[in-house]
Amino acid sequence: MIESLSQYYQSLSIFGKTAITLNIVLLFLAPIIFNYLVPSDKTNINGKRIRHLRLINMVLLSVYFFDWLINYQWGTRASHSDIFIKISQTGLVCVLGYLFTQFSHTWTIKAFGKERTVEGETIKSRTYQSEMGYIVILLGSIIVSLLLLINIWEVTAWLQATGVIGGLLVILFGTKEAWAHDAVSGLVLLYNGDIAPGVVCRIKSLDVFAVVRRMTLTETTFYDVIQKHSIIVSNRLLRAHPIEVLNKVDSRAWNDYVNFKIGYDTPSEHVEAFITEVWQRACQLEKYLDPEKTPKLVLYNPGDHAIEWRMNYRIESVYRIKPARYAINRAAFDLQSTHKLSLATPITWANQTTNQPEQHTKIIDP
């Protein structure tokens, strides 16, 4: 069998030998190519690309395997059939086209992408320029591959308006509703530059409060600030809803506030002392709150039942917005008895019934 395979390999043309050697090499080097040379920004995508390349390699090698079986095992060592030669040439065009598009996309991201810091991890993110460059290269690769395949199979009739190419264009136009809106929306979002990896966004209508992790032409992946799970939203849906951009790209710090409702009979000095101690306690609970940067207290709204005080503070990591608020809320709850304040919601009718004035405090999480 080994001798038969060796004789078959020697009988191949230079093209056939090159095709077999190249596919065997790519079959084993696929993990190195996609994990180190042209890695994606998502690990699971690297695995998919490795599987796709190996599938193409196996299909192409199986063509030569069946050619060997037919001509050297079951036949009389006749010349290689034209159909097998054309299939192998087609497979080689697919392999080279696939590798070229993957390498070109990685090159456009490296050349035109921007470095972003997402929760301490530095990544190279896509930009409008990188995606437009990739689209141009991808279209060029598809056109060249189609022309090569047409010449390999000698089906020049495909180039006619009523041929296969025309049919493909009709199908492409008919399915534009499924992909065109997302692709155009993705380009618009990338061109504007407000939404990029590392930016914290709040979309109230979609109940999303998360960090932008990855952007493609069709969808955007968010990383939930609290539950740490991925949220995938199509770009068309993303542009249809108001988006609050909470920080600038690569800006770590964030200015936030918490509101307190305290009764009218509590003097401002008492409130200031309470807020100061709440801040010191919260800094002990959350390391991204700096005790040296004291918060600013303002009288925000003199309401009917209580005065609403606003505590403005700075957090050193925008990704810790919610944990910082929880720390402040916990500190306020623990210190209420020390400062003789109550976190209970003011109830006017209860006060009128008992005729006993009470002090109340309420924390609002905006």
- pLDDT one-digit tens code per residue, 337-353: 888 886 665 555 444 44
Of 169, 168, 220, 170, residue with least CA distance to 194: 220
Band (pLDDT 50/70/90 cuts) for residue 15 is confident
Q: Is residue 361 within a helix (H) or strand (E), and if so which, with residue range? A: strand 361-364
**Residue 228 Ramachandran class (φ > 0 left, ψ -120 to 50 alpha, else beta):** left
pLDDT over 50 at 192, yes or no = yes
Ordered by start, the domain boundaries in the chain are 1-112, 113-251, 254-364
Q: How confident is the model at residue 178 (pLDDT cuts 50, 70, 90)?
A: low
Q: Of 299, 280, 302, which is closest to residue 290 (Cα–Cα)? A: 280
Task: Give the max Cα distance, the chain.
Answer: 110
pTM (two decimals): 0.59
For residues 145-158, average pLDDT? 77
| Residue, of 54 and 157, whose pLDDT is higher | 54
Rounded percentage of the chain residues whose pLDDT exceeds 70: 81
Q: How many angstroms separate the CA atoms of 103 and 38, rounded?
A: 6
Three-state DSSP at 193 gives: coil
When the candidates are 3.40.50.2000, 3.30.870.10, 3.40.640.10, 3.30.70.100, the CATH number that belongs to 254-364 is: 3.30.70.100
What single string gives the DSSP state of each residue in 76-120? Answer: ---PPPHHHHHHHHHHHHHHHHHHHHHHHHHHHHHHH-EEEEETT
Can you tell me the distance from the alpha carbon of 337 to that of 340, in angstroms, rounded to the nearest whole number?
5
pLDDT of residue 93 exceeding 50, the answer is: yes
**Cα–Cα dist 292/316, whole Å:** 12
Main-chain phi, psi angles of 119, to 5 degrees: 50, 50
pLDDT one-digit tens code per residue, 61-73: 888 888 888 777 7
Tokens matching residue 283: 């800094």
pLDDT in tens, 209-246: 898 888 888 889 998 887 888 899 999 899 899 999 88
Instruction: Report how far residue 213's alpha carbon sits from residue 118's, in angstroms, rounded to the nearest whole number.
Output: 7
Helices (H), the chain: 2-11, 14-32, 43-68, 82-112, 128-153, 164-174, 176-192, 235-239, 268-285, 321-335, 348-354
d(CA 277, CA 294): 11
